[in-house]
Structure 1
Amino acid sequence: MDAIALLKQQHREVEELFEKFEKASEGKGEQVLMDLFARIADNLAAHATIEEKLFYPSVYVGPTADKLQEAVEEHLAAKRVIADLLDMDPADAQFKAKMKVLKELVEHHVEEEEKQLFKDVKKLLSKDELASIGEQLEVMFNELIQTEPRMQVPRETGEAAPLA
């Protein structure tokens, strides 16, 4: 799968998890909410890591550089909200509010990536390059998702990830 197709697929998966969380917020138990939050946070943490370590550095040239600087700042904002949520209980009055903020941050980030960044990347890289990067992204994501990557997030909230 090419890199952009893989990242878009991951975006859709997280959107579905946010929808499940919103539905569960209407009366399901705290454990269901906590489980959904954990899945969302793990997916976002692993996704951000593969973008920051593999995808962004491979496309950090010319017209994408400014967009990537903004993207890692958006990742940082989302990580800070995730770190806050890790210290909270779903029964906390602010938990659902913070989840809504996280969803909005992610939606904004996804929209910018899909409407602009990915189009620029398609002009920069060949299909073979995108396929090769996609393979690397998939392998790293599959390894990370097994390790509760959300638990690393609090260590990543000091500053945006370096791109070079």
Structure 2
Amino acid sequence: MRSILATLRKEHDELRELFEKVNATSDRAEKTRRELLQKIEAALIPHAKWEETVFYPAFAERASHDQLLQHAEAIQEHRAVELAVLPDLHASPPDSRQFAGSMKVLSEFIDHHAREEEREMFKSARQLFSAQELAEFDAQYEQWKASAAAAAIAAHAKIKTGLKSIGRNPKAPG
């Protein structure tokens, strides 16, 4: 039976592979870095926005006091990436050490978040939701990712990141 937890874990693994590739590039691989950043955002943004708008609220509705802490941590980690790490990354030239450093921070942050989510939140979700409900979430997520709403939310997030990156252009040595 399908499960949203398996789908989200698979997407975490795909992101880890993309981060491994981009973190292995040199400063001269400007085009490759840009392409990999686009792929990372294309995978990351819909994933995060669906979690924030559907999965996390459903989780919070059924969560115990301790599970609400997991929920709060997850929300704050998403906010940190969206409001700080991604804008700093976009403010850095792809051929710079600043970009490489910001990408490394992003990859470590996402890996930490994904591991916590898989270890703690997914374990809790198996207690809070039936296998049928997890399968229904998976079907909803698949439909949502193909929707105009998902495209609009992703576009909005990218615009917001772009606007936040203005004025943050670090003058770090390349």
Partner of 2:77: 74
Q: Distance in 1 between matches of 2:106 and 2:68?
A: 24
**Which one-letter code corresponds to 1:35 in the other structure?**
E
Native 8 Å contact 2:29 2:95 kept in 1: no
Native 8 Å contact 1:82 1:153 kept in 2: no
Q: Distance in 1 between matches of 2:123 and 2:109?
A: 21
Aligned residues: 156
1:117 aligns with 2:124: no
Q: Distance in 1 between matches of 2:119 and 2:29?
A: 37
Distance 1:31 1:156, change over 3 A: closer
1:14 aligns with 2:18: no
User: How far did 1:84 drift?
Assistant: 1.8
Distance 1:105 1:47, change over 3 A: same
> Runs (4+) of structure 1 moved beyond 3 Å?
142-150
Partner of 2:172: none
Partner of 1:32: 32
Native 8 Å contact 2:18 2:40 kept in 1: yes
Q: TM-score, normalised by structure 2?
A: 0.80
Q: TM-score, normalised by structure 1?
A: 0.85
Native 8 Å contact 1:14 1:44 kept in 2: yes
**Which one-letter code corresponds to 2:39 in the other structure?**
R
Identity of aligned residues (%): 32
> Could you report, residue by residue, the CA deviation over 1:58-108 in whole angstroms, capped at 9, with x for unpaired residues?
111224211011101011111121122223220232000000000111111
Q: RMSD of the TM alignment (CA)? A: 2.3
Partner of 2:99: 95
Structure 2, unaligned stretches of length 5 or more?
A: 165-174
Q: Distance in 2 between matches of 1:68 and 1:137?
A: 19
Partner of 1:106: 110
Distance 1:92 1:156, change over 3 A: closer
Distance 1:153 1:111, change over 3 A: farther
Q: Give the number of the structure with larger relative contact order, counting CA–CA contacts within 8 Å between residues 6 or more apart.
A: 1
Partner of 1:154: 161
Q: Distance in 2 between matches of 1:146 and 1:12?
A: 25
Distance 1:155 1:37, change over 3 A: closer
